[in-house]
Amino acid sequence: MKAVIQRVLKASVTIGGQKVANINSGILVLLGIVSDDSQEDIKWLSNKISNLRIFSDNDGVMNTSLLQTQGDAIVVSQFTLHASTKKGNRPSYIHAAKPDLAIPLYEAFVQQLEIDLSKKVQTGQFGADMKVEMLNDGPVTIIIDTKDKA
């Protein structure tokens, strides 16, 4: 799994002109899944994101986690995170998991993040044409790949 985590002042997801997710202070997670991702990856990544110290403490130092700030989260599926651009100029998405595998893993990740944060996590809709809007705070953008956790 690969995640792009953005600290936001606000974020929203719109599908077909209808706003389906909307948060203020928190994080926007763009999540890409490959075929060999597992429950272990889900648990590890959710824990890492929940406890990632990317919010300012009282001294203005990034030393506080989303869990501590009780901020909100939106998770959006994004298979393009696994694009290969080695050949030519048209990206290949051969490494991205197919929907029959990716959807259950995506849903399991959202459920695990809700458990870790003890709150509802908002989402986009898997496979939909989504318009994602956000105001990045900082800017702070972190990329985490579960293949690099060792």
Q: Do 125 and 15 contact (CB within 8 A), yes or no?
A: yes
Which has the higher per-residue pLDDT, 84 or 41?
A: 41
Catalytic-labelled residue, pool 6, 78, 123, 146: 78
pLDDT-derived band of residue 56, with 50, 70 and 90 as boundaries?
Answer: very high
* Counted domains in the chain: 1
Q: Report residue 28 CA to chain centroid gap.
A: 6
Catalytic-labelled residue, pool 39, 68, 70, 80: 80
Active site residue 80: yes
| Residue type for position 34 | V
Q: What mean pLDDT, rounded, does the chain reach?
A: 96
The per-residue pLDDT for 52 is 98
**Chain segment 103-145, per-residue pLDDT in tens:** 999 999 999 999 999 999 999 999 999 999 999 999 999 999 9
Active site residue 78: yes
Neighbours of 19 (CB within 10 A): 11
Catalytic-labelled residue, pool 79, 109, 122, 146: 79
In the numeric block, the tokens 């990544």 are attached to: 45
Sequence-ordered list of residues with C-beta below 8 angstroms from that of 51, at least 6 positions apart, any chain: 65, 66, 67
pLDDT-derived band of residue 149, with 50, 70 and 90 as boundaries?
Answer: confident
The per-residue pLDDT for 12 is 98
CATH code (residue 83): 3.50.80.10
Q: Residue 111 to residues 1, 63, 71, 79: CA-CA distances in angstroms?
A: 15, 26, 17, 19
**Chain segment 7-28, per-residue pLDDT in tens:** 999 999 999 999 999 999 999 9
Sequence-ordered list of residues with C-beta below 8 angstroms from that of 95, at least 6 positions apart, any chain: 34, 35, 82, 84
Q: Which of 56, 51, 71 is nearest to 121 (CA)?
A: 71
Active site residue 123: no
**Chain segment 71-112, per-residue pLDDT in tens:** 999 999 999 898 889 988 999 998 899 999 999 999 999 999
Print the domain residue range for 117. 2-148
CA dihedral 80, 54, 24, 11 (to 10 degrees): -20
